[in-house]
Amino acid sequence: MTKLTIATQPIAGQKPGTSGLRKKTPVFMGPHYLENFVQAIFDVVGCAGKTFVLGGDGRYFNDRAAQVILRMAAANGAARVIVGQGAVLSTPAASHLIRLNKTDGGIIMSASHNPGGPKEDFGVKFNMPNGGPAPEGVTEAMYKRTTEISEYHIWESQDVDLGKIGRQSLGGMIVEVVDPVTDYAMLMESLFDFKAIAAMFSGGFRMRMDSMCAVTGPYAVEILENRLGAAKGTVVNAVPLPDFGGMHPDPNPTWAHALMDEMFGQNPPDFGAASDGDGDRNMVVGAGIYVSPSDSLAVLAANAHLAPGYAKGIAGVARSMPTSAAADRVAKAMGLECFETPTGWKFFGNLLDAGRVTICGEESFGTGSDHVREKDGLWAVLLWLNILAVRKQSVAQILAEHWAKFGRNYYSRHDFEAIETAKADAMMAELRGSLAGLAGREIEGMQIAAADDFAYTDPVDGSVSKAQGVRIMFADGSRIVLRLSGTGTEGATLRLYLERYSAGPQGLDLDPQQALAPVIRAAHTLAAIATHTGRSEPDVIT
Ligand code: G16
C-alpha cells in the first residue's frame, strides 16, 4: 500500500448549501469531484491524528464514496475512523456517535429526503465535534479551499471490509466498524419511558411506521418492534435500498401518500409516522388527522416534560424563521425563551450547546432536542409515543386541546420546483426592492404591519447571517415568507410559507388551505409569482 498525492484542479460550484454539498450522483462520481471536496474538508478542519465518524444513508454510491473517504482519511494521517456497518448511519445516529466518542467530527453521506440512484442525488457534509452540521464560516472556508485546490492525498489499497464489525487497519489508521443501531437505541431508552410505551402497545395500540425504503428501517424495527413490542410488520418499507425502491423518501403528505391513505382510511391505526432518506425528518399522523410539523413542534414543547429525559422541563425553544409561531405561543405561556433562526439545523447548534434551548424544530418536518445536534425523526416519533402513553388520549384529542389552549396557527408551505434560476432570482430581487414601501398597505382585507429580509444575529457568538428570506407580517398575525431553497439540485425552488392565526374558540377546525386562501392570494399578488416564473400552482403543498 502506498500513499498517493494526486494533482487536481478546482471544480466550479462545490459550494455547500443549507446542508452540505448536494449534487446529482453522476456529478459526485465525476473525476476528482468527491476527492476535491473531501480534501477541502480535511484541509480546513485538519486530519492528522484525528478521529472521525463516517456513515451515510445507504443510497447509491454510498458504499464506494465511503471507501474513497476512508482511503483519503488514512492518507491525510487520521488516527481512527468509526464507521457504521456497511457504511450506513442515520444522520442523528452519526451525530450521536460523534458526541459519544468525543471525536473530532464526522462526514455524513446523504442527500437527505431527495431521491437516490445513479441519476438522482448524492451529498456530503461535515459535522463538527459537537455533532452538528458545520456552521457557515466553516463551510465557506471549505468552499474557498475547493477553489484553490491543487492536490489530494489517497492511499492506494483494496477496499476495507465494512461488513465486518470490529477494528481493522488502513495504512496505519484504525477503521472501527460499529453496529449502526445499538448506541442510538440505548440513547432513546435513556430518554423515553419504554415501559409505558410497551404497555400501550401490549394494550392493543396500533401504529404504522413508513421507513420509505430508507435508513430508519433497521432502527425502527429494532426500537419499535423488538424493544417496544409493537406488532411485527408495524414498520413498512423497512429494508433500506440504494434507490429507496424508486420512492421519494420525503415524509410529507405528498410523498408518504400510502401512509396518509391508511391513516385516513377504514379502521386506521392509532398513530402513523414516516421518516426520510437519512432519518432526520419525520411526519406524524393520527387516525384521520394530520399533524403539521409546526404544530408537532409546539405540542412536543408543551408536553416534553412527560418523558423522563425532559422531566425537569425544557430550557427554551427554537424554530426556523419560516416555521409557524405555534411554538412561540407555548414558550410564552410557559415563560421560556424562544428563538427564531434562519433555515437550516446548523443555526440551532450554538443555542443547544449554550443550554439556551432544549427543543428545536423546522416546518420542513424536522424536530429534535439537545440529545444530538441534528434533527431526529425517530426521536420525535418516540416522544409522541411517550406523550400518547402518558396522556392516554388520541392524537386528535391532544391537538384539539392544544389549539383550544393556545389558538391555532394555520400553516402551509407551497413549493415551486425547478424554476429557471435567473427568473427566480429576478422575482426575489424585485420583491426585496419593494419591501420598504409595504408597511401600512392593505391587501386582501389584511393590513401589512412590517416587511423585511430576515437577518439573524447569533445570540451566542454574534455572527450575522443576512438575506435569509423575505417576511411580510400582517397586523392580524398572518404572515408570508418567501425564500429560495438552499438544497435543490435542479434550477431554483421557490418556497412560499403561509400562516394565519386563529385565537379560537371558533375557527379552529377549518381546512388549512381554505383558512389561508386570502394569504395565498396576497402572496401571489405581492411577489408576482406567475408573471416572473410562469407558475400559478405549486408543485408540492405541505
Ligand atoms: C430544506 C428545508 C430546511 C432544512 C433543509 C435541510 O432547506 O427547508 O428547513 O433544514 O432542507 O434538511 P435536510 O437536512 O433534511 O436535507 P431548503 O434550503 O431547501 O429550504
Q: What is the pLDDT of residues 71-89, one digit of tens each?
A: 999 999 999 999 999 999 9
Q: How confident is the model at residue 488 (pLDDT cuts 50, 70, 90)?
A: confident
For residue 111, the ligand 1 atom closest to its alpha carbon is 16
Calculate how far, in angstroms, residue 343's C-alpha sits from the geometric centre of ligand 1.
7
| Spatial CA neighbour of 492 closest among 541, 439, 444, 532 | 532
Question: pLDDT, tens digit, for every residue of 310-338?
Answer: 999 999 999 999 999 999 999 999 999 99
Whether the CB of 171 sits within 6 Å of ligand 1: no
What pLDDT shows up at residue 18? 73
Question: pLDDT, tens digit, for every residue of 360-390?
Answer: 999 999 999 999 999 999 999 999 999 999 9
**Stretch 45-64: mean pLDDT, rounded?**
98
Question: pLDDT, tens digit, for every residue of 158-193?
Answer: 999 999 999 999 999 999 999 999 999 999 999 999
Instruction: Tell me which of 364, 375, 376 to substitute to probe ligand 1's pocket, judged by most ligand atoms within 8 Å of the beta carbon.
Output: 364
Whether the CB of 112 sits within 6 Å of ligand 1: yes
User: Which percentage of the chain shows pLDDT scores above 90?
Assistant: 93
**Which three cell numbers, joined as nine digits, stand for 430?**
424585485
Whether the CB of 18 sits within 6 Å of ligand 1: yes
**Stretch 286-302: mean pLDDT, rounded?**
97
What pLDDT shows up at residue 448? 95
Catalytic residue annotation: 112
Calculate how far, in angstroms, residue 487's C-alpha sits from the geometric centre of ligand 1.
6
Calculate how far, in angstroms, residue 363's C-alpha sits from the geometric centre of ligand 1.
9
Whether the CB of 19 sits within 6 Å of ligand 1: yes
Give, using CA atoms, the residue closest to atom 15 of ligand 1. 112
Which one is predicted more confidently, 391 or 346? 391
**Which three cell numbers, joined as nine digits, stand for 315?**
430550557
Among positive and negative, which fits the CA dihedral 90, 92, 95, 99?
A: negative
* Helix or strand holding residue 187 (H, E): helix 182-191
Q: Fill in the amino acid letter for 461.
A: D
Q: How confident is the model at residue 490 (pLDDT cuts 50, 70, 90)?
A: confident
Whether the CB of 127 sits within 6 Å of ligand 1: no
For residue 483, the ligand 1 atom closest to its alpha carbon is 20
How many angstroms separate the most distant Cα atoms in the chain?
Answer: 73
| Spatial CA neighbour of 294 closest among 380, 386, 366, 385 | 366
What pLDDT shows up at residue 505? 74
Calculate how far, in angstroms, residue 304's C-alpha sits from the geometric centre of ligand 1.
24
Residue-averaged pLDDT of the chain: 95
Nearest-Å Rg of the Cα atoms of the chain is 23
Calculate how far, in angstroms, residue 146's C-alpha sits from the geometric centre of ligand 1.
23
Q: Cα(203)–Cα(245) distance, rounded to whole angstroms?
A: 34
**Which three cell numbers, joined as nine digits, stand for 375?**
434533527
What pLDDT shows up at residue 508? 79
Which one is predicted more confidently, 59 or 137? 59
Instruction: Tell me which of 23, 120, 487, 490 to substitute to probe ligand 1's pocket, judged by most ligand atoms within 8 Å of the beta carbon.
Output: 487
Give, using CA atoms, the residue closest to atom 10 of ligand 1. 344
Q: Cα(379)–Cα(200) distance, rounded to whole angstroms?
A: 18
What pLDDT shows up at residue 487? 78
Question: How far from 508 is each of 28, 98, 271, 407, 451, CA to CA, in Å?
Answer: 48, 43, 22, 7, 27
* Strand pairing report for 408-419 and 492-502: antiparallel
Give, using CA atoms, the residue closest to atom 16 of ligand 1. 112
**Stretch 277-288: mean pLDDT, rounded?**
97
Calculate how far, in angstroms, residue 319's C-alpha sits from the geometric centre of ligand 1.
13
Which one is predicted more confidently, 504 or 394? 394
For residue 91, the ligand 1 atom closest to its alpha carbon is 14
Calculate how far, in angstroms, residue 19's C-alpha sits from the geometric centre of ligand 1.
7
Whether the CB of 412 sits within 6 Å of ligand 1: no
Domains and CATH numbers, the chain: 2-178 (3.40.120.10), 184-406 (3.40.120.10), 408-541 (3.30.310.50)
Q: Cα(243)–Cα(230) distance, rounded to whole angstroms?
A: 27
What pLDDT shows up at residue 171? 93
| Spatial CA neighbour of 86 closest among 112, 105, 58 | 58
Give yes or no for residue 19 having a pLDDT over 90: no
Q: Cα(497)–Cα(520) distance, rounded to whole angstroms?
A: 9
437 exposed, middle or buried (CB, 10 Å; 0-12, 13-18, 19+)?
exposed
Instruction: Tell me which of 15, 19, 482 to substitute to probe ligand 1's pocket, judged by most ligand atoms within 8 Å of the beta carbon.
Output: 19
Question: pLDDT, tens digit, for every residue of 223-258?
Answer: 999 999 999 999 999 999 999 999 899 999 989 999
Question: pLDDT, tens digit, for every residue of 114-150?
Answer: 999 999 999 999 999 999 999 888 999 999 999 999 9
* Strand pairing report for 446-453 and 151-156: unpaired
What pLDDT shows up at residue 491? 87
**Stretch 531-535: mean pLDDT, rounded?**
92
For residue 278, the ligand 1 atom closest to its alpha carbon is 15
**Which three cell numbers, joined as nine digits, stand for 206?**
396500533
Q: What is the dihedral of CA 344, 346, 349, 351, to 10 degrees?
A: -40
State pTM to two decimals: 0.94
User: With contact defined as beta carbons under 8 Å apart, do 298 and 327 qualify?
Assistant: yes
Q: How confident is the model at residue 510 (pLDDT cuts 50, 70, 90)?
A: confident
